[in-house]
Amino acid sequence: MNPVYLTAKSLHAGWANSQALSIAGITPAVSDPINGIFIRSADGSPNGILLESAMELLENHIPEPTIDSLADSLKTAQSELLKMGLTAVHDFDKISCFSALQLLHKEHELKLRVMKSIPKENLSS
């Protein structure tokens, strides 16, 4: 089984399968973190729905991809989007994704229009 973790568009909720929960050490004995909740089954075990700061406990176990691997993934996704007639996207991902988009642009491989959300802390003053 592969670990799977998905987030809601709002980034306020996440869904993880049992393999991902296990890797992150999220067991029935784990308490809800401050400002976060593990939704639990009737027996008290986390059912894989994580809210707010509970998501961080799982996300801390996900290795950061390289800029090159992100660029490769973006090229693959871009190809599929273009096949469907989609030519523009919004991106609310991390600064590493922005770096990968810049790499694709530099290599003249970025064919999509991208509306990129950049957190204030990543802007130079």
- Closest CA relative to residue 55, chosen from 10, 100, 95: 10
For range 22-50, the mean pLDDT: 96
Is residue 94 packed enough to be buried (19+ CB in 10 Å), middle (13-18) or exposed (0-12)?
middle
For 88-106, the pLDDT digits (tens) are 999 877 788 999 999 999 9
pLDDT band at 87 (very low <50, low <70, confident <90, very high): very high
Q: Could you give the percent of the chain with pLDDT greater than 90? A: 81
- Closest CA relative to residue 35, chosen from 21, 55, 17: 55
Domain borders along the chain are 5-59, 67-122
For 40-77, the pLDDT digits (tens) are 999 999 999 999 999 999 999 999 999 999 999 999 99
Phi, psi (degrees; rounded to nearest 5) at 122? -95, 0
pLDDT band at 15 (very low <50, low <70, confident <90, very high): very high
Average pLDDT taken over every residue of the chain: 93
Q: What are 58-62's contacts with CB under 8 Å, separation 24+? A: 58/5, 58/14, 58/16, 58/20, 58/21, 58/24, 58/26, 59/5, 59/14, 60/24, 61/20, 61/23, 61/24, 62/5
**pLDDT of 125:** 63
pLDDT band at 14 (very low <50, low <70, confident <90, very high): very high
